């Protein structure tokens, strides 16, 4: 079964957390799809990933041309497509995710803002749905020192 990780943002912001997770993804030799809930978020993430650290390079594209997208180790989108045969799916900014989609990936990471009540409610509903299946779902929350701790 697919491993599903829920990252509850309370102290950090998406643009701080996502690049580190993507770096780890590439270090493992995996490809990723980052699915955002809005085009504005997609544009923002595209810029953020190019500039997040001088010493790091995260090759990616938000180009929706299937041929371009297929060659990307990290592909940014608002759709449910998977042209790069990604191993991981990152779901951010209240993007839609159907539990059946998760099966196509090795791992699915849902990153949600704890201050966004709608996003929080959607994450809780998905958590409940997945806990009733065979998926290995874990919940991660930042402690006061900013480190991620497994909560469930």
Q: Which domain holds residue 133?
A: 3-150
Domains contained in the chain, number:
1
pLDDT digits (tens, 9 = 90+) for 95-133: 999 888 999 999 999 999 989 999 999 999 999 988 888
pLDDT digits (tens, 9 = 90+) for 7-49: 999 889 999 999 999 999 999 999 999 999 999 999 999 999 9
pTM of the model: 0.94
Contact criterion met (CB below 8 Å) for 80 and 91:
no
- Secondary structure (3-state) at 23: helix
CATH of the domain at 121: 3.40.50.10110
Q: Residue 46 to residues 21, 34, 94, 128, 142: CA-CA distances in angstroms?
A: 15, 10, 17, 31, 25
Rounded Cα distance, 40 and 44, in Å: 6
Sign (positive or negative) of CA dihedral 36, 42, 44, 50: positive
């Amino acid at each position: 079964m697919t491993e599903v990780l829920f990252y509850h943002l309370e102290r950090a912001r998406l643009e701080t957390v996502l690049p580190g997770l993507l770096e780890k993804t590439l270090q493992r030799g995996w490809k990723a799809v980052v699915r955002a809930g809005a085009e504005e978020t997609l544009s923002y993430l595209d810029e953020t990933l190019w500039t997040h650290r001088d010493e790091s390079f995260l090759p990616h594209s938000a180009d929706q041309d299937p041929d371009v997208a297929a060659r990307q180790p990290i592909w940014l989108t608002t759709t449910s497509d998977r042209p790069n045969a990604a191993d991981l799916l990152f779901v951010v900014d209240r993007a839609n995710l159907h539990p059946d989609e998760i099966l196509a990936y090795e791992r699915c990471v849902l990153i949600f803002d704890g201050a966004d009540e709608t996003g929080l409610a959607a994450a809780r509903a998905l958590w409940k749905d997945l806990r009733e299946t065979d998926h290995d779902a874990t919940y991660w929350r930042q402690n006061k020192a900013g480190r991620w701790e497994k909560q469930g």
